[in-house]
Amino acid sequence: MILKIGVALLFILAQLAQKTAFSAAEPPMLFEEDPSLLTTSIQVIVRRGSAMDPEDKAGLSNFLSRLMLRGTKNRSREAFQSTLERLGGALWVSTNHDTVVFSGKVIRENTAAFLKLVSECLVEPALNKQEFELLKREITSEISYSKNRNAQLVGWAFRRSFFESSPLERPVNGTLSTVKKIKHKDIQPSYRSHFHKNNLVFAVASPFKDTDIRKQILEMWNAFPDGRHVAPTVVHPKLSDRPLLIVVHKPATSTGSIVMGQPGIVANDPNRYALMLANFAFGSEAFSSRLFKVIRSDLGWTYAIHSTYHSLGSLSHQPSPFVIASTPSVEFTVKTLFKTWAMWKDFIENGSKQAEIGLGKESLIHSYPFEFDSAEKRLSYKIRHLLYEVPILSPDEYAKTLESITVDQIKKAVQKQHHPNRWVMAVLADKTVIEKQLDQEQKDLPDDKRLKIHKVLSPEEVIQ
């Protein structure tokens, strides 16, 4: 197999591999300079996320970070946002279990003024009581509104069962009951836990030389106190060897939503590439995977079906669950569930075919340039490398790594990582329809061999 990647990529990868470390003198600062860019983008990554929120106040990290966008000590929310937006800038924040990430973008000519505002927002947030109350109402309304969003509901129900009794059990935004318990007096301590020198990583993609930007970032970083980074607790769910079926009861859906998951892998798992190839063949490739070919293309039961190791977002310190998600027409919901499960058992037992893996290798090797074809993507790769030790391989190394993996190694990696029956299955549909379909599909099985509904949740219970 010939690798068809240009020399430019080799240069980019050499730059990527330059080590950026955590030190007492300056923060990790990652840069991508591209003179053709019309905007400057910044990410400030705070290495503390929702997994460290107090159990009864889940959603606190998300709450804090959104409150920080609502004014500074010197500017009201209106003055801050109005100034930012008049610059042609935008600043937003996203929280996950491991991190809080402030992301911003501005038209290039206003880069310096924009970075000053970002600094003001992070170093001197107002965190005032009035905005706290407004935001609390807003977040509560958003959580309540999730009852209208079936994909979100079934995802939360899955998460609750999969990560039961661990910090990852609750949604990043919290639930109605945990957000209710968040008080204004919780905000300042949370801010101090998140924002100290040893928790921050800065990443910038810009048309300009990094010298001036580096100076501004260093000034910002020096305004934070020292602190100790607390590594997140890594959660390893313990699942039963029999599938656990959860139903979110929503009457009158014409589509069922299915999320089924098993324990997955961390970013630097030694079997990362073997499992990536296995997943390509089984369910991740949009049109050529087994799941798509059989359940969508041949049977026509569902519009969407795919599998992923990235179910918690980008791979991280946490072994993100391996998830298969589909949205079959309601009359095919249980059929889709059983067919997917049967295909998985066959995959575990018999492995993948040489042709499937050959296709996977070619596809993944040839698409490797897309990991690096823009400044923002290169920056994203650098961040994942720094935070989660995602390996940075040259195109040759990447190709050699993938090509050296055999079908037998892939089968062994899948068998080591996975289990035919160790699933948490969450289904959103009318429970009476699901019950009837389960009876129909299992009528020839003895009672003790049947898949049974473990728990039925209402949408209200999911968000509580």
Residues 336-375 contacting other proteins, CB under 8 A = 359, 362-370, 372-374
Binds other proteins (CB under 8 A): choice among 132, 158, 195, 301: 301
Residues 196-255 contacting other proteins, CB under 8 A = 250-255
Binds other proteins (CB under 8 A): choice among 18, 286, 443, 449: 286
Instruction: Examine residue 401 and tell whether it contacts other proteins (CB under 8 A).
Output: no
Residue 384 DSSP label: H
Strands 453-457 and 244-249: parallel
Binds other proteins (CB under 8 A): choice among 186, 269, 403, 430: 430
Nearer to other proteins, 137 or 183 (CB): 137
The residues, ordered by sequence, that sit 6+ positions from 142 with a Cβ below 8 Å of its Cβ are 173
Helix locations, 146-199, DSSP H: 150-162, 176-181, 187-194
Nearer to other proteins, 164 or 371 (CB): 371
Binding mask 433-462 for other proteins (x = CB under 8 A): x--xx--x------------------x---
Nearer to other proteins, 90 or 456 (CB): 90
| Shortest reach from residue 55's CB to other proteins, in Å | 26
| Shortest reach from residue 363's CB to other proteins, in Å | 5
At 107, which helix (H) or strand (E)?
strand 100-107
Distance of alpha carbon 174 from alpha carbon 167, whole angstroms: 11
Give the DSSP per-residue string, 256-275.
Answer: -EEEEEEEEE-TT-TTHHHH
Helix locations, 312-406, DSSP H: 333-350, 354-366, 375-388, 395-403
Residues 39-68 contacting other proteins, CB under 8 A = 39
Question: Do the Cβ atoms of 87 and 117 come closer than 8 Å?
Answer: yes
Of 46-54, 260-268, 290-298, 383-391, which segment contacts other proteins by CB under 8 A?
290-298
Distance of alpha carbon 231 from alpha carbon 64, whole angstroms: 20
Q: How many helices (H) and strands (E) does the chain have?
A: 18, 11
Binding mask 4-33 for other proteins (x = CB under 8 A): xxx-xx------------------------
| Shortest reach from residue 196's CB to other proteins, in Å | 26
Rg over alpha carbons for the chain, rounded to the nearest Å, is 24
CA distances, 436 to each of 33, 245, 354, 431 (Å)? 59, 15, 40, 9
Binds other proteins (CB under 8 A): choice among 90, 113, 218, 453: 90
Binds other proteins (CB under 8 A): choice among 18, 23, 36, 350: 36
| Shortest reach from residue 297's CB to other proteins, in Å | 7
Burial group, residue 13, by CB count within 10 angstroms (0-12, 13-18, 19+): buried
Binds other proteins (CB under 8 A): choice among 75, 170, 290, 296: 296
Residues 304-323 contacting other proteins, CB under 8 A = 304
Distance of alpha carbon 355 from alpha carbon 360, whole angstroms: 9
Question: Do the Cβ atoms of 202 and 47 come closer than 8 Å?
Answer: no
| Shortest reach from residue 36's CB to other proteins, in Å | 7
Strands, sheet with 39-46, edge to edge from the N-terminal-most edge strand: 29-33, 200-206, 39-46, 100-107, 89-95
| Shortest reach from residue 434's CB to other proteins, in Å | 10
Residues 132-171 contacting other proteins, CB under 8 A = 134, 137-138, 141-142, 144-145, 147-148, 150
Instruction: Examine residue 181 and tell whether it contacts other proteins (CB under 8 A).
Output: no
| Shortest reach from residue 300's CB to other proteins, in Å | 3
Binds other proteins (CB under 8 A): choice among 327, 340, 380, 417: 327
Distance of alpha carbon 146 from alpha carbon 133, whole angstroms: 20
| Shortest reach from residue 88's CB to other proteins, in Å | 3
Instruction: Examine residue 297 and tell whether it contacts other proteins (CB under 8 A).
Output: yes
- Binding footprint of other proteins, residue count (CB under 8 A): 84
| Shortest reach from residue 4's CB to other proteins, in Å | 5
